[in-house]
Structure 1
């Protein structure tokens, strides 16, 4: 189950076909019924970095064979790299994931209160 949440979180960073990230309960670490910017960023960064098989602090496409075999996933992975790989080195660092998580958080936080509610998560806008 955790693996599916991580994949959903990673895909939520970039996929135009994914309308929402993982559900609130999976990201609400302090269980206060809402997701803070820090909780959102931590979940997406830690979840994404679990794909770093060789432990070098970067995720390269070669570390994603299980993900890229899913139907339609190769295009999604390519999009993740295109919009997240800021330095163009072909690898995604935790800093690059954190920057993308900040952008995505702002897109989802409709009422601009600095927290995500279940309603905001469910009605998250598609990626730009």
Structure 2
């Protein structure tokens, strides 16, 4: 299998895994790591709180980006910790109820490192999160 095809397959795999992760609601212990340190760090308690019914003005996008990043690192250990970046992109003005976050990083797979860029769209009406490709990165390793 050529590297370009393998890079595409890895990106699709991550897209599917992140969609599962983001649409799973962990218990609300992530915000209280001092009180429940083992539960908040557990891979059993994966996911990010559901945003359904949350007003846009009540969302701290920087804090949410940090929580998304932490949940990814706990869920997928093959992702390079230092290279993972989650950043708020924009509010989707068409719907007015969706936040976009760009997720970029590198993942180790079959003794190679693959770059990936994904867009995650968080709907505050339904709580649904969609993950789509943002940019197909270069393969190296």
- Using structure 1 for the length normalisation, give the TM-score: 0.33
State the structure with bigger RCO (CA 8 A, min sep 6), 1 or 2.
1
Structure number with greater Rg is 2
Considering fraction of residues, name the structure with more helix: 1
Considering fraction of residues, name the structure with more strand: 2
- Using structure 2 for the length normalisation, give the TM-score: 0.30
